[in-house]
Amino acid sequence: MDIEKLYREYFTPVYRYTLSLVHDPDMAEEITQETFFRALKKINDYRGEASLKVWLCQIARNLSFDTLKRQSKTTALTKHDDDESDDYELPAGSESDPEEQLLRKQTAMKIHRILHDLKEPYKEVFQLRTFGDLSFAEIGELFGKSESWARVTYYRSRMMIKEELDEDSL
């Protein structure tokens, strides 16, 4: 197997999926690099039950969760009450109306909060589809379910997010 070809073909989808989990570009890149390193070490263990993309995303998922656990333990030990901030920075040099930019930023924050509170598997299926750019077939494969299950779960997660947004705007 040509690992360089594998890396070129799957780096972007694995990185995007990892970024959707950790929300930090530098951390996502490190985890993605570690994913390919581990995949290279374990390539002989790959049985072909899932596509390579799904297998790599499973490795990235496990690494992301491990990293976030370690980070939350470290953060809990060093966090201070005065670290919290609700400041919203507007993009520099933008031609849009500042009020419109703030409204978009606040809407994005609402969506992220709703997504954060969404129950599994809805949360992960939404992230895999939206941020990880995985197909419904690949998502179903990742969960050991059908493509239809992935489609229905994604649709339900979207409806849950939409309902929460609609409730907030009342």
pLDDT digits (tens, 9 = 90+) for 148-158: 898 889 888 88
Distance, in Å, from the CA atom of 19 to the CA atom of 36, rounded to the nearest integer, reads 15
Residue pair 31/60 in contact (Cβ under 8 Å)? The answer is yes
Distance, in Å, from the CA atom of 149 to the CA atom of 139, rounded to the nearest integer, reads 9
Instruction: Tell me if the domain spanning 1-75 has CATH number 3.40.30.10.
Output: no
**What integer is the mean pLDDT of 58-68?**
86
Ramachandran region of residue 119, left (φ > 0), alpha (ψ -120 to 50) or beta? beta
**168 band by pLDDT with thresholds 50, 70 and 90:** low
**74 band by pLDDT with thresholds 50, 70 and 90:** low
CATH architecture of 98-170: Orthogonal Bundle (1.10)
- Tokens 């581990």, residue located: 38
List the alpha helices (DSSP H) in the chain: 3-22, 25-41, 52-78, 98-117, 122-130, 136-143, 147-168
Domain chopping of the chain, boundaries: 1-75, 98-170
Instruction: Reply yes or no on whether the pLDDT at 57 is more than 50.
Output: yes
Amino acid 83: pLDDT: 46
**132 band by pLDDT with thresholds 50, 70 and 90:** confident
Domain 1-75 and domain 98-170, same fold? Reply is: no
Name the range with the highest mean pLDDT among 21-25, 41-45, 46-50, 131-135.
21-25
**What integer is the mean pLDDT of 112-140?**
83
Instruction: Reply yes or no on whether the pLDDT at 160 is more than 60.
Output: yes
**What integer is the mean pLDDT of 123-147?**
84
Instruction: Reply yes or no on whether the pLDDT at 114 is more than 70.
Output: yes
What average pLDDT does the structure give for the chain? 77
**Phi and psi (nearest 5°) for 56?**
-65, -40
